[in-house]
Chain A
């Protein structure tokens, strides 16, 4: 999808039109689409959104409020294209339609606000960049001499984990693990800008998104890092699949933190001996799994925990449904995001799961809010936090 940014407009339109025309309208994606399962209207299904996009592109329909609302009720979860027999890249089509909406200045206001925040403050919350280090409170001494210092690994923290208090435990846990394993790492601190993901997901195709890419890449390159690690799957997707399209080959490799930890386990450098006598499930984050193909790394980590029962069922891995936190849906349709999460919680409860583990700040955030109203025993935990706890670091 990052390719959208660079392509000449008429070539882009032609390639998108060909993609839309490939659709046989078989409805397989409609049956899978999580927002359709809730809303029940054709227009809130993957197939329906392809038709809306086609209608717009062929100038057959106006850009109605309803169309905009339905285009922004897509989680960009990629479940549709994963199984599309005709190989239609539905999320790419939807993101382009979001671009058409943005160009007309009709992007829903809660999302436009996020974009304005980015333009102004380089982060989604419109906070001061100095506040990017608020999450480091408990690990201050471990990082004070590492900020913007040359190192092997550059840890890119991301806006959600930096600014949202309830999610600060994710980077904190990774820092503790890396420090315990004597890994040479750095962070950008105030110099870190948002990865730019909201621009891409909202279809904001202005050049400004490229500036974010160039800034972050150059900062990391200046520190001569060999690897950039992110804990956020959204940042990971942007760094690994969109930045190279904007910038060309990057001077370092990109890893999601679960890949790093899995490598350390494989090398015998990370060992977990504490027991976890629980039945757990891994919530595959869409941007890590279907978008980037990372399914095994988190499972390799979790399956080394003694006594754990890691449960994969038919709705796991490639078939895992979005938690409801994707596609910026939460900003425009908070209820839909919550209902989707509650559906997932129901599935887990019926499978008698003790704990959901994820490796994504958006998933964690959405589950935390949805579980609040759920009196059951089910809990959610970030994978890094779990590992840090099992290593007695937290």
Chain B
């Protein structure tokens, strides 16, 4: 469709401040955090569900791709327009609609920023416990889209464990609520779980009801510095065998420690092969006692320096630095930039040490720095590869390196993505990793979105439209 016609159509739904076909604007929406770049035909910023419904009907009539977008912090190319079309940016739909403390739930529009929600809930003593590193930036819609998880997944699980209800605009413009406002239901297929993690390929989510939990009375953090990565794996296993379920167990390798020191020099972390960061929560008494226990476990398992704190400010400083270590990774090598490729593998807990060693080997083989950190408590590692973006040879090497990382993860019984999603970046691995699942996904996608207007080109789903099934 030509630009003038598209502009005309959009102007029937949106005021001029809420849509754009300006070339410069389109370029700014051609990327998320991944390495991909595709320019959309238009961008709209709806303010309410009715506008979304009208837009979907229009797209359905004219076969225009729609790409929902929260904050564009996704690392898999999920929010970009592979086949052109309209980016539906939810930034303006950012209202917290209803807090129902009695029933432990909150209902929000999709564009609400995660940190804003938790700041709001904090006043009432509650929180949404899934805390991604991108908390200050990412939207709840994007978290649902990607089934995001985060630092506290060991104890609290991931987004999919908290979504009670979703209001969805389906590809033909029908509006549906997929869940229920009660804490559990066995009524029919679990379509909530289908839509959580669907990466915008099945419909547009306009409203989300989340289960919330009371903020624990106290929290403690233990940090341990190790010179032998093998010991880390043992320390983690020993924490669990001591019957302790930490809220978070994070790992930072030597270069990630260095990146934190460069980003926040006042942290002044010691030089070590790796660092473990363990967060405990619960009642005041229990936190004091398990924090001490974990402190000793780390010591006994070879940590050459161990520290613990239950002070909020110190704890917060550590977490704030940890949250952004991925983006700070580039600081360890001048002139290099961090690229999100091969960055989200999850491996069996027993294979963590082996994976760390493999990553080091690959870094040497390709002569590219890899800064490693991750949610070691659930085996989710984030190898951050650094390249010189204006060096074509580095792009070539990056392709091969990320391929090797992904293949290694699959080989040892892991997955190519623990939380960032498939999108475009990892589409080619789905067939290899989960062929039957992909086959079923394609059937479901075709049934719900026969015209393939919802975020086409993602998750290797387009293949489903080429067959006659």
Question: Which residues of chain A have a CB within 8 Å of any CB of chain B?
Answer: 17-18, 21-28, 30-31, 40-43, 48, 51-52, 55-56, 60-64, 66-67, 70, 84-87
Residues of A within 8 A of B389 (CB): 21
What CA separation (Å) do A24 and B136 show in the bound complex?
Answer: 15
Known: A25-B32, A86-B327. 13 other contacts (CB 8 A): A21-B390, A24-B326, A25-B73, A26-B327, A27-B137, A28-B327, A42-B43, A43-B24, A43-B25, A51-B28, A67-B22, A67-B24, A85-B263
Chain B, range 358-377, C-beta contacts under 8 Å to A: none
Query: A377 CB to closest chain B CB, in angstroms?
Result: 25
Tell me if A55 and B24 are in contact (CB < 8 A).
yes
Tell me if B263 and A52 are in contact (CB < 8 A).
no
What CA separation (Å) do A115 and B45 show in the bound complex?
Answer: 35
* Interface CB pairs A-B, < 8 A, 16: A18-B390, A25-B33, A26-B134, A27-B71, A30-B137, A31-B71, A52-B24, A61-B23, A62-B23, A63-B24, A64-B23, A66-B22, A85-B263, A85-B326, A85-B328, A86-B327
In the complex, the chain B residue whose C-beta lies closest to that of A51 is B28
A-B pairs with lowest CB-CB distance, top 3: A85-B328, A85-B327, A26-B327
Tell me if A86 and B137 are in contact (CB < 8 A).
no
Of A22, A26, A64, which is within 8 A of B73 by CB? Answer: A26
Of A22, A31, A60, A85, which is within 8 A of B27 by CB? Answer: A60
User: Quick one: CB contact mask for B315-359 with A, threshold 8 Å, 1 for yes?
Assistant: 000000000111110110001011010000000000000000000
Tell me if A41 and B326 are in contact (CB < 8 A).
no
Query: A313 CB to closest chain B CB, in angstroms?
Result: 14
Residues of B within 8 A of A52 (CB): 24, 27-28
Residues of B within 8 A of A17 (CB): 390
Tell me if A26 and B20 are in contact (CB < 8 A).
no
What CA separation (Å) do A41 and B16 show in the bound complex?
Answer: 13
Chain B, range 7-52, C-beta contacts under 8 Å to A: 20, 22-25, 27-29, 31-33, 43, 45
Of A28, A60, A62, A70, which is within 8 A of B137 by CB? Answer: A28
Known interface pairs A42-B72, A55-B27, A64-B23. Does A22 touch B45 (Cβ–Cβ under 8 Å)? no
Tell me if A25 and B324 are in contact (CB < 8 A).
no
Residues of B within 8 A of A26 (CB): 33, 73, 134, 137, 324, 326-327
Tell me if B45 and A41 are in contact (CB < 8 A).
yes
Query: B381 CB to closest chain A CB, in angstroms?
Result: 18
Question: Which residues of chain B have a CB within 8 Å of any CB of chain A?
Answer: 20, 22-25, 27-29, 31-33, 43, 45, 71-73, 89, 91-92, 113, 115, 134, 136-138, 263, 324-328, 330-331, 335, 337-338, 340, 389-390
Tell me if A27 and B134 are in contact (CB < 8 A).
yes
Tell me if A24 and B27 are in contact (CB < 8 A).
no
Tell me if A42 and B28 are in contact (CB < 8 A).
yes
Known interface pairs A27-B72, A27-B73, A86-B331. Does A40 touch B92 (Cβ–Cβ under 8 Å)? yes
What CA separation (Å) do A69 and B156 show in the bound complex?
Answer: 45
What CA separation (Å) do A373 and B170 show in the bound complex?
Answer: 45
Query: B132 CB to closest chain A CB, in angstroms?
Result: 12
What CA separation (Å) do A27 and B29 show in the bound complex?
Answer: 13
Tell me if A42 and B328 are in contact (CB < 8 A).
no
Tell me if B22 and A31 are in contact (CB < 8 A).
no
What CA separation (Å) do A58 and B324 show in the bound complex?
Answer: 28
What CA separation (Å) do A55 and B25 show in the bound complex?
Answer: 10
In the complex, the chain A residue whose C-beta lies closest to that of B26 is A61
Query: A254 CB to closest chain B CB, in angstroms?
Result: 26
Known interface pairs A85-B327, A86-B328. Does A24 touch B337 (Cβ–Cβ under 8 Å)? yes
Residues of A within 8 A of B134 (CB): 26-27
Residues of A within 8 A of B136 (CB): 28, 31
Tell me if B335 and A18 are in contact (CB < 8 A).
yes
Most buried by B among A22, A52, A70: A22
Tell me if B28 and A86 are in contact (CB < 8 A).
no
Residues of A within 8 A of B25 (CB): 41-43, 64, 66-67
Residues of B within 8 A of A40 (CB): 45, 91-92
Residues of B within 8 A of A23 (CB): 337
Query: B49 CB to closest chain A CB, in angstroms?
Result: 17
Tell me if A24 and B33 are in contact (CB < 8 A).
yes
Query: A158 CB to closest chain B CB, in angstroms?
Result: 34
In the complex, the chain A residue whose C-beta lies closest to that of B73 is A27
What CA separation (Å) do A64 and B24 show in the bound complex?
Answer: 7
Residues of A within 8 A of B45 (CB): 40-41
Tell me if A24 and B327 are in contact (CB < 8 A).
yes
Tell me if B72 and A51 are in contact (CB < 8 A).
no
What CA separation (Å) do A67 and B24 show in the bound complex?
Answer: 6
Query: A199 CB to closest chain B CB, in angstroms?
Result: 25
In the complex, the chain A residue whose C-beta lies closest to that of B87 is A42
Tell me if B24 and A61 are in contact (CB < 8 A).
yes
Query: B317 CB to closest chain A CB, in angstroms?
Result: 13
Tell me if A22 and B31 are in contact (CB < 8 A).
no
Of A18, A48, A84, which is within 8 A of B28 by CB? Answer: A48
Tell me if A86 and B337 are in contact (CB < 8 A).
yes
Most buried by A among B28, B31, B92, B337: B28
What CA separation (Å) do A26 and B330 show in the bound complex?
Answer: 12
Tell me if B113 and A31 are in contact (CB < 8 A).
yes
Residues of A within 8 A of B32 (CB): 25
Query: A20 CB to closest chain B CB, in angstroms?
Result: 9
What CA separation (Å) do A233 and B22 show in the bound complex?
Answer: 37
Residues of A within 8 A of B331 (CB): 85-87
Known interface pairs A24-B327, A52-B24, A62-B24. Does A30 touch B71 (Cβ–Cβ under 8 Å)? yes
Tell me if A64 and B28 are in contact (CB < 8 A).
no
Tell me if A61 and B27 are in contact (CB < 8 A).
yes
In the complex, the chain A residue whose C-beta lies closest to that of B338 is A24
Residues of B within 8 A of A70 (CB): 24
What CA separation (Å) do A87 and B20 show in the bound complex?
Answer: 31
What CA separation (Å) do A66 and B21 show in the bound complex?
Answer: 10
Known interface pairs A25-B31, A25-B32, A41-B25. Does A66 touch B113 (Cβ–Cβ under 8 Å)? no
What CA separation (Å) do A265 and B338 show in the bound complex?
Answer: 48
What CA separation (Å) do A147 and B111 show in the bound complex?
Answer: 58
